[in-house]
């Protein structure tokens, strides 16, 4: 059986299916992280407000709150995009695979950077510790005291799991079996429908006519031959009008006619001399 494009359905390799499930897992982790962020963002803002009160960075709490809300919205959009890409990858869309590599690479950098920042114990930019500005260690201590004890370990574990799952999904999409699945298939040959005909081949363009050649020059008629000397030209014969009677037999050439019998009649155009009277 073939689809509407005339190509047989392709069997999806297991590496592509596994990659799609890993992308869906990363999307689920993004949603869980979004819920954690929204549930603790108010507490983080209060801690930062108390820590920077009376300093030049007193508005840092509001800035951190806005960044947290924007990051939550971006995480939700990324989760939806990963699910859509997973479904398109299962259908063999090569454009979706390329988009997955681009978006996955960006997520790897962001997730890896955030994980390194969390493990390093620096949730803020640090800044200067001179004057009345609190140090990064003081901010970290206040956050750990205000947040639930499970928040930091759970957030770190989710980030690490998302990083590994996303990396594995991108690698699976680059394997040879995946390349064969995403390659554009060649249209399959189908036998003609009973009663139908094979598609005709395009007609070969005709050759231009050969240039005309000028007519061969006419040859002059052969000159006539003159009659032999001493012989008059043969006269034309009149058309036959019936079967005439047989003429009399002329006498033999060189012999005189028999007396009392007329001589042979002359031929047309032949002049005959009168006979001399016979003398006694």
First-residue to last-residue Cα distance in the chain:
133
237-265 pLDDT per residue, tens: 555 555 554 554 554 444 554 555 555 55
* Rounded Cα–Cα distance for residues 76 and 30 (Å): 7
* Rounded Cα–Cα distance for residues 216 and 210 (Å): 17
Give the angle 214-217-219 at the CA atoms, nearest 5°: 160
Q: What share of the chain is helix, strand, coil (3-state, %, to 5)?
A: 50, 0, 50
90-119 pLDDT per residue, tens: 999 999 999 999 999 999 998 888 888 776
**Long-range contacts of residues 187-196, Cβ cutoff 8 Å, at least 24 apart:** 187/5, 187/6, 187/7, 188/2, 188/6, 188/7, 188/8, 190/2, 190/6
Q: What are the structure tokens assigned to 66, written together? A: 């806005």
Contact 22, 178 (CB under 8 A): no
pLDDT at 200: 57
Q: What are the structure tokens assigned to 9, written together? A: 């359905």
Contact 96, 88 (CB under 8 A): yes
Q: What is the mean pLDDT of residues 72-76?
A: 91
* Helices first, then strands: H and E counts in the chain: 6, 0
Q: What are the structure tokens assigned to 73, written together? A: 């919205």
Q: Average per-residue pLDDT in the chain?
A: 75
170-221 pLDDT per residue, tens: 999 999 999 888 887 666 555 655 655 555 566 666 666 666 666 566 666 5
Q: What are the structure tokens assigned to 101, written together? A: 């590599």
Domain boundaries, the chain: 18-126+134-182
Among residues 69, 70, 83, the alpha carbon closest in space to that of 27 is found at 83
Q: Report which DSSP code applies to 229.
A: T
135 versus 261: the higher-pLDDT residue is 135
Contact 68, 44 (CB under 8 A): yes
Lowest-confidence pick of 15-19, 94-98, 138-142: 138-142
């Amino acid at each position: 059986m073939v689809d509407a494009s005339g190509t047989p359905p392709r069997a999806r390799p297991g590496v592509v299916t596994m990659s799609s499930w890993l992308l869906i897992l990363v999307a689920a982790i993004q949603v869980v992280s979004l819920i954690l962020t929204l549930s603790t963002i108010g507490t983080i803002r209060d801690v930062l407000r108390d820590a920077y009160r009376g300093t030049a960075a007193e508005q840092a709490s509001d800035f951190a709150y806005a960044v947290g809300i924007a990051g939550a919205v971006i995480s939700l959009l990324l989760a939806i995009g990963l699910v859509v890409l997973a479904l398109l990858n299962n259908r063999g869309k090569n454009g979706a695979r390329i988009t997955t590599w681009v978006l996955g690479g960006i997520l790897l950098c962001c997730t890896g950077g955030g994980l390194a920042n969390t493990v390093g114990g620096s949730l803020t930019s640090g800044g200067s510790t001179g004057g009345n500005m609190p140090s990064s260690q003081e901010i970290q201590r206040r956050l750990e005291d205000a947040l639930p004890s499970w928040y930091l370990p759970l957030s770190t574990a989710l980030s690490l799991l998302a990083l590994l799952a996303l990396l594995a999904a991108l690698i699976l999409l680059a394997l040879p079996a995946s390349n064969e699945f995403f390659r554009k298939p060649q249209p399959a040959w189908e036998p003609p429908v009973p009663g139908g005909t094979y598609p005709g081949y395009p007609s070969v363009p005709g050759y231009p006519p050969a240039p005309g050649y000028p007519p061969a020059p006419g040859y002059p008629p052969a000159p006539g031959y003159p009659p032999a000397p001493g012989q008059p030209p043969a006269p034309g014969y009149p058309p036959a009008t019936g079967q005439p009677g047989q003429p009399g037999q002329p006498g033999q050439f060189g012999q005189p006619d028999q007396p009392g019998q007329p001589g042979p009649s002359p031929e047309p155009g032949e002049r005959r001399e009168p006979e001399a009277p016979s003398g006694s």
